[in-house]
Chain A
Amino acid sequence: MKSWNKNFKSNCITYGIVIAAFLAVSALESTGNLSSLLKGLLVPLCVYVILAVSLNLVVGISGELSLGHAGFMCVGAFASAFFSKAALGAIPNDGLRFFLAILIGAAFAAVFGVLIGIPVLRLRGDYLAIVTLAFGEIIKNVINTFYIGMDSKGFHFSMKDQFSMGMEPTGTMLLSGPQGITGIPKNSTFFIGILLVLVTLFIVLNLIDSRDGRAIKAIRDNRIAAESVGINITKYKLMAFTVSAALAGVAGALYSHNLATLQASKFNFNTSILALVFVVLGGIGNIRGSVIAAVVLTALPELLRSLSDYRMLIYSIVLIAMMLFNWAPRALEWRERYLGRFFKKSVKEGK
């Protein structure tokens, strides 16, 4: 009971941080103190927070390294944007259509999560990592070859080009290969983003503290012991993987409705890696850490924009330095000795 209380308190702090951030930003916005640069950053911040939290479920809680998380985001982004564009006339209400689009994005990503999870979760360690990477790249490459159009007769599909579909000249292209989807309704707002962040946190934090979550963590800590007490390994691993994929799909839906054009090439290996950087820097398995790391690391390159050419160089140096400072055993020792009061907790967690 005591530990439940502790978890509950910690979770409330996490929600509180998000809500406080929202209120602070809203206050700044209403008084006109928010620069346009920062305004443009608000929805992407929510996207990356959701992405990082969802990836932490796989990497931190389930203990599997996934290098293809952008693939699920890609599926969610395209499924939801496709729906929004196809239903633009049929459902005139923006709110309802966007709500359905998010659900569809999440559902499609979850289906892919199951499909990919079943073969992938048979593998271990770095082999599992490379297969997730491979799936991420495959999803991106395959979407790049899809051409889908719509006219009065219904949908037309081709994998070659838009002229071989035999579409009526009055029809509209929904998805045109490497050009992707254009003219997506811009429905994403900071408010919706924050709501989705809270929903994501609610799902993930409750999953972690539930019976299922404990089973997932037990498998991470010792697979054989977990199996011997009757935990169904495949079921729980697949559960973590699928929930994570669905939430990445939500992030994708939010992302796609913030842009005018959506291209599959955006969801490359680097995006997956970016999410992984958030997770590791924020603390593996630490959800609040992921939120903070995602915000700081997404905002950092933008805030460094005045340094123009040097900003990514500085970003990389900061990244290396932070990793060394947070993980190197000698640095941890040094921290304990000189800054012990501030860092005691993180040093203990290091093991």
Chain B
Amino acid sequence: MSFLSYLINGLSLGSVYAIIALGYTMVYGIAKMLNFAHGDVIMVGGYAALTMMLATGTNPLIAVVVAIVVCTVLGVVIERIAYRPLREAASPLAVLITAIGVSYFLQNIVLLIFGSSPKNFQSVVLLPDLKLAGGALIITGEAIVTIISCIVIMIVLTAFINKTKAGQAMLAVSEDKGAARLMGINVDRTIALTFAIGSGLAALAGVLLCSAYPSLSPYTGSMPGIKAFVAAVFGGIGSIPGAMVGGILLGIIEILGKAYISSQLADAIVFAVLIVVLLVKPTGLFGKKIQEKV
């Protein structure tokens, strides 16, 4: 029974990773950049929701919506100020370093406003815990909500990309920016939209993560950010189902590794699995193989 409860914990953590990884992978697919500030957007989302709940005492659901709006705007602003000017830069490393600068900036501005001591996060989930098998297996409300939101997001996002015009534009831009522009697609706006969606998802992931692990500090986002990045690569960066599968697998491996092998080595195990996967499949589980032209 304990295995089952670990599995559900892993599934729940993995769903959070998956939601973050979706943002990573969409941004990578379209802008071809590793957005290292993504993890810190998660943290900002957490603080936004916390502030709403503490200061105004509003309903947690409203707090979640506010957090999503704040992060969506933040994502678009970051893209406009810091990333867009560097899109045509000579080296792709330039925008990577700028993203790191943005990450430091977000961490330090939150540090200045809220202080460095961890804040106690109040869960936004109102659902009671589910007790199965006479109380031997407890599934927390947070886990249920997280897993369900992950599935819903996956379905909505897939439908959005395949069925709507804006989604098709995203696909086109990620294939070939120049050709997309010739087809009358507004590339700048499409990329901004991608950042908006990715950051909105990050806010949601942040709120869910803090509900399950109720402690929030300016550095809360960095490790989940890296893990989600790993998850995105694991599944094949740029691939949406890949990010989903990668995130969930990563969460399960991490929790099972913590439970059965060593809690100190859990991160090392996650990374070791990633290395093995990449050595067998060099572009991740669902990654496209790129043929090199001579």
Contact = CB atoms under 8 A, between A and B. Distances in A.
A47 interface: no
Which of B90, B100, B274, B294 neighbours the largest number of chain A CB atoms within 10 Å of its CB?
B100
A224 B294 contact: yes
B2 to A, nearest CB: 22
B85 A331 contact: yes
A122 B292 contact: no
Interface stretch (A7-15, A85-93, A94-102, A138-146): A138-146
Contact of A323 (B86, B233, B271): B86
Interface string A306-332: 000110110111011001101111110
Interface residues of A, number: 48
Which of A144, A327, A329 neighbours the largest number of chain B CB atoms within 10 Å of its CB?
A327
Contacts of B94: 280, 323, 326-327
Nearest to A269: B226
A313 B113 CA distance: 12
Given A131-B275, A141-B267, A320-B102, A122 B282 contact: yes
Contacts of B112: 309-310, 313
Contacts of B96: 65, 276, 280
A133 interface: yes
A59 interface: yes
B100 A273 contact: yes
Interface stretch (B103-111, B169-177, B195-203): B103-111
A141 B263 CA distance: 10
Contacts of B262: 145
B82 interface: yes
A313 B105 contact: yes
B101 A316 contact: yes
The main secondary structure of chain B at its interface with chain A is: helix
Which of A130, A142, A280, A316 neighbours the largest number of chain B CB atoms within 10 Å of its CB?
A130
Given A316-B101, A316-B105, A350 B90 contact: yes
A138 B85 contact: no
A126 B28 CA distance: 10
The main secondary structure of chain A at its interface with chain B is: helix
Contacts of A312: 104, 107-108, 111
Given A269-B226, A312-B104, A316-B104, A324 B86 contact: yes
A122 B280 CA distance: 11
B97 A135 contact: no
A137 B86 contact: no
Interface in A92-132: 119, 122-124, 126-127, 129-131
Contacts of A126: 28, 34, 233, 237
Nearest to A159: B262
A324 B272 contact: no
B271 A324 contact: no
A323 B274 contact: no
B292 A224 contact: yes
A134 B111 CA distance: 28
Contact of B85 (A122, A130, A134, A324): A324
Contacts of B101: 316-317, 319-320, 323
Contact of A145 (B85, B90, B265, B292): B265
Interface string B254-294: 00000000101101100110110011001110000000101
A59 B91 CA distance: 11
A130 B229 contact: yes
A129 B94 CA distance: 15
Nearest to A222: B294
A184 interface: no
A277 interface: yes
Nearest to A277: B97
A142 B104 CA distance: 27
B210 interface: no
Contacts of A59: 93
Contact of B278 (A127, A138, A281, A309): A127
A178 B268 CA distance: 15
Given A122-B279, A131-B278, A277-B97, 12 more contacts: A119-B279, A124-B282, A134-B230, A276-B93, A276-B96, A313-B105, A319-B100, A320-B101, A320-B102, A324-B85, A328-B89, A329-B85
15 contacts: A126-B28, A127-B237, A127-B283, A131-B274, A137-B268, A141-B264, A142-B268, A178-B264, A281-B97, A312-B104, A313-B112, A320-B105, A324-B98, A329-B89, A330-B85
Interface of A: 59, 65, 119, 122-124, 126-127, 129-131, 133-135, 137-138, 141-142, 144-145, 178, 224, 269, 273, 276-277, 280-281, 284, 309-310, 312-313, 315-317, 319-320, 323-324, 326-331, 350-351
